[in-house]
Amino acid sequence: MDAGKTFLRDRLPGFVRSIQAAATLQEAETVLMSELDRYGITYAKYGFMPCGDQRFIDHDVLFAGAFHDGWERVYAQENYIRDDYVVERCLLSEKPFSFEEVNRRLESGEFVGKRRQMHSLSRDFNIRNGVAIPLRDSFPLSRGALSLVGTNELSDAQFGHHLSFVGEDLRLIAEAFHTALNRPLLIGADGRLFARERECLLWSMRGLRAQDIADRTGTGTKTVEKQIASARCRLNARTVAQAAVKAMLLGIIEP
C-alpha cells in the first residue's frame, strides 16, 4: 500500500477532526503546520481565488499562512505576486510540481526582470526546496494552491526523492485544509449520499480496492465503481480522496 493510502486510512481522520475543531483561521494554520512538520516542511502558504472569473484578480485571493517574514515583507512591497512563476503555474495547471523546476529556470537565465528578482529573493531567504499543490473547487474557474517549503538540508534531487514518498500525503493534507476553509463554496449541493454510496466511499477511504469492497458488500466490481463515482458527483469532488475528505467534514461518514 502506498504512503498516501496509508495516511488516508490512519492519520487523515484525526487531521480532519482537528481542522474541524479549529475555531479560527490561525488555529487551523497551527493544525496544518503541526501535521506538515512530520514531513520536514518549514513554511506553508495557502492562496485561493474564490470566483468564476478567468482573470487573475490578486486582491480577491484568500491567503493563509506565510513564508519567511522578511520574504513576505519584500514580496508585498514590490507586489511580486504577478511575477511569481509558482502562482502562474498553479493557475494554469492541476498537477503538483516541485520548486526544482523554478530553480532550473532561474539558473538557466530564463527568468528576467521582476520575475528574476522575485525568485532570486526566494534564494536570498533560503527558500529553495518546496512543492506547490494546485487546488480546485467545484467551479472549474476557481483555483488556488498550497505552497510548501521544505528543509534546506536537502539538494533538489534529494528533496525530489523525498517527495516521491510523501507527495500523496501532502496532497491529501492540502485537500483537507482547502475543503475545511471553503466548505460552503465547495460542497454546492447538500452532500447527501445513499447508504451504499456512503459504505463504498468509507471502505475506499480505508484502502480497499473495488474488488475487495464488492466481496464485502456482495455486489460486483462495476457496481462498486459506479457507487463511488456517484458519491464523487454528489459531493462535487474531483477524486475519491477529495470525496472522502468532504464527506468527513460534512459528517456524512465518520473519520
**Nine-digit cell string for 110:** 530564463
- Average pLDDT along the chain: 82
pLDDT category of residue 187 using cuts at 50, 70 and 90: very low
Separation CA 90–CA 93 (nearest Å): 5
Q: pLDDT: is 250 or 105 the higher one? A: 105
Strand partners, 131: 98, 148
Q: Where are the alpha helices (DSSP H) in 3-107?
A: 3-10, 12-21, 25-36, 69-77, 85-92, 100-107
Residue 202 has pLDDT above 80, yes or no: yes
Separation CA 137–CA 236 (nearest Å): 8
Domains assigned to the chain = 3-181 (3.30.450.80), 188-250 (1.10.10.10)
Measured CA distances, 20 to 4, 59, 225 (Å) = 21, 27, 29
Half-sphere exposure of 16 (CA within 13 A, CB side): 27
Q: pLDDT: is 172 or 236 the higher one? A: 172
**Nine-digit cell string for 98:** 516541485
- List, for residues 203-239, the tens digit of each pLDDT value: 887 778 888 888 888 888 888 888 888 888 777 777 7
Residue 57 has pLDDT above 70, yes or no: no
